[in-house]
Structure 1
Amino acid sequence: MINLPSGVDINNLIDDIRILSWQVADILLYYTKLLEDSNDKKNILKNNNEDDPVTLADLKVNEMIIKRINEKYKNINWDILSEENVKTSNNFVTKNDWVWVLDPLDGTKDFIQGTGNYAMHLALNFKQKPYIGFVLIPDKNQLWISDGKKTWCEKRNGTKYKPNFSNNKNLQEMTLVTSKNHGNETLRNLIQKINFCKVEIMGSIGCKIASIVRGDSDIYICLSLPGKSSPKDWDFAAPESILKAAGGAITNIDNQELTYGLTSFQQGGIIIATNNRKTHESICLEIKKIIEKNGIYPL
């Protein structure tokens, strides 16, 4: 049994983040409308980095979430790790067991491109493992919530529904969801060798993991090349919390849990997420054998 920091009630906390999340949705949907105008687009883009763009929406949401948490929960023994804050000041250090991990806008490229495949991630990690998590997908009117024990989805009007897994498929019967803007030739080669039943292309790790929890897909593979950029803690913390509490699993290819709080915040190598924790290890092993047999990736 994990106890939240003194003075924090889990039901009140979820209520507070729920309200905050729909306010975030309003901000993100507002800026998606503005991005349709090329003149507004120039003002919304805050840097010229095509590989890692930052928008005014990222900054607004980041500022609001951190401010609200700090105002509502004064003197609570936790810290907030945010992607945007690390970009401007890479000196985050904490000795606290409890750390919020925030990505105000996961899938910024898709956000700019207008695909709707973007999300807000917010997780509360305990001892470097995701515990409570929120994945907000404004374009789908979905807020995925994990309280550490179970996962559910809410619409803005309060309607709730549960995860929907289609289990007991073998690897070739599965639908893979994979990256739209962060793919590479090595991953494409692996996908081709596995010969999945179906491949869905989608931006945002949060959107991809939510698609598994919804039952639209079965598996996600993230493959980062050595020496190249990798996803970070804020990309995976909240999605991991909703997937695991729903009965799925997410590990590296050796079936080892992800480690958070490393100095670089990197989540490198090969990461596999599936909809069934019972068969997850065998799926990882099967993929590993395919990689080794075909010399696809240095393991």
Structure 2
Amino acid sequence: MDCVSGSSAAVADKPVNKMKMCRAEYRSISRFIEPLRPSRQCMETLKTQFPHLPPSTLLSIFSQEYQKRMKRSIMRHHAPDVVKGYYQRYRSEAKTRPTAPLLLELANEVDLSPALLARVILECFLQEREASVPSRQVLNNMLREPYLIPDLLLAKHIEQCTVNDCCYGPLVDCIKHAIGLEHEDILRDELRERNLSFLDENQLRAKGYDKTPDIILEVPIAVDGHIVHWIESKASFGDDHSHHAYLNEQFWSYCNRFGPGLVIYWYGFIAELDCQHERGILLKDGFPSDIVTLCQGPARS
């Protein structure tokens, strides 16, 4: 299972919009995304610029590209002198402009995720207050529930960051988890409608499997002439970086243990990545409309 990062709007965007695109189009979108920040306004900009793409696809692409950007620069933002400068600036401006969205403004200026900046500032505040480094659990609890922060103004600014960041933070993590579960349910419903016998991830773990796909079919099916023993649900867009990581971390091991399988990228994928049929991996952007079972012949939706 995997899921798209994003706002609550993504949950309501059902996976009825199928989307495969060529690598050239993806690169064009990623170049347009490069200067954008993770805000609600940026998603409106993307929907206006690419009206033919589902909002969930755009959000997934933006989130993945933005996270790559953050990984490239995160060490610079965590340098001790840089962190100290961010915190001192916040404390100074909080005295003169307490009602302004100070952390959102600073995050935009230095090109850092608002939620990641909020975490840095909160850690500095707690360390200053308690004279010790706060635990990860304490930080996470306060980011999830800002009212726990013993400074009402800082709590307000922290909450602004987590609410307005569409790529990072506890709100995004919660939505990602919900979207992943939603698509697993959709996959199971599709299988039940076709009377296909299967074991899901929870059942497989109960049987002692430690690393499994989302679904193993008890009776294989054929899709586009290719045998499928397992199905993996990815509620995200399949780009080069994520797909190659999944190949190495998951898909090849699934093939070695269970035979050939199917990966569903519910929000689309780069078409050129669907090139491993002979090695046992088939990509789709939704549940296949035509499948063949060994016992029943063609099964149509």
For the criterion TM > 0.5, the same-fold answer is no
Which interval holds the TM-score relative to the shorter structure?
Answer: under 0.3
When the two structures are superposed, what TM-score results if normalisation uses the length of structure 1? Answer: 0.27
Compare relative contact order (CA 8 Å, sep 6+) and give the higher one, 1 or 2.
Answer: 2
When the two structures are superposed, what TM-score results if normalisation uses the length of structure 2? Answer: 0.27
Q: Which has the larger helix fraction?
A: 2
